[in-house]
Amino acid sequence: MAAAFDAWLRDTFARTKGFTALLVLVKRDRDTIWPLGSSYANVIGNEMSWREFRDMLDRSKLQWDAVAVFPAAGPNGGPLPDGQARFRLKQAQDRLIEDHATINEGAFFDRKGRPLRLDPA
């Protein structure tokens, strides 16, 4: 069930040597998504399980049923400085609101950690 997220985290961390996860929580149905809220988190290891990640997202108190994670790393790998992370998160939000299909540019998971894809109607 959560193996897809766990594999994605391991692979992304190995490729970037740490990154900033730009997070957008969404509500979804068969046809579309509604962005509910966003934040970012610096990922400095690959030990977090899907359950721990989901529990962290649940502390937002938003009624989300999917999350988009856009990994962003500095030029030499590693997490972004806070100012850059906020700027890149705003860019990701704006693009997602303008075109919901951009959610597929990140990793998109349901509450069980299964990968999702938003296909055109």
Per-residue pLDDT of the chain (121 residues; tens, 9 = 90+): 578 999 999 999 999 999 999 999 999 987 789 999 999 999 999 989 999 999 999 999 999 999 999 999 999 999 999 999 999 999 999 999 999 999 999 999 999 999 999 887 6
Q: Which two tokens stand for residue 104?
A: 């597929």
Residue pointed to by tokens 């500095």:
74
Contact 66, 112 (CB under 8 A): no
Q: What is the DSSP letter of 115?
A: B
Q: Does pTM top 0.85 for this prediction?
A: yes
State whether residue 45 is helix, strand or coil.
coil
